Amino acid sequence: MHDDSIRAFSYSHNGQALLSVDKLGMIKYFTPHLTNIHGFQGHREACHGAAWSPNDEKFVTGGDDGLVKIWSYREAREEKVLSGECIVYPQKPPDARPRMGCQVRRLASDKGARCFRK
């Protein structure tokens, strides 16, 4: 499990994995039965959000370090970093139209980041 408080968690769309982030900036993967699969340092400071892409191949995290990071799930590898104060929401925004792929959009009104179909 985590060494500090869990700040956010999200089940994959297919229900095969649980992603959690904590106050130390750690990212951990679990099975649906809460067996720890993998863990790594994702942010320098606390993470406060996590969300999956629609195909479960990528996920996005937001941290108190002011970064939003897009990760490859299978490789546990950072793919892209967006800077600025952001919040990651696990749901699709109401104005999102179903399309292919995954996109993180920074919203001016609440400085949020949402992962949804592009």
What's the mean pLDDT in 101-110?
A: 41
Tokens (6 digits) for 16: 């095969």
pLDDT of res. 84:
58
Selected residue with higher pLDDT from 58 and 91: 58
102 domain-assigned: yes
79 touches 72 (CB < 8 A): yes
Question: Would you place residue 72 in the very low, low, confident or very high pLDDT band (cuts 50, 70, 90)?
Answer: very high
**What is the Cα gyration radius of the chain?**
13
Question: Would you place residue 17 in the very low, low, confident or very high pLDDT band (cuts 50, 70, 90)?
Answer: very high
Domain count, the chain: 1
1 domain-assigned: no
57 domain-assigned: yes
CATH number at residue 83: 2.130.10.10
The whole domain housing 44 covers 6-117
DSSP string, 77-114: EEEEEEESS-EEESSPPTTPPP-SSEEEEE-TTT-EEE
Convert the pLDDT of each residue in 24-63 to its tens digit.
999 999 898 888 888 999 998 888 888 888 889 999 888 8
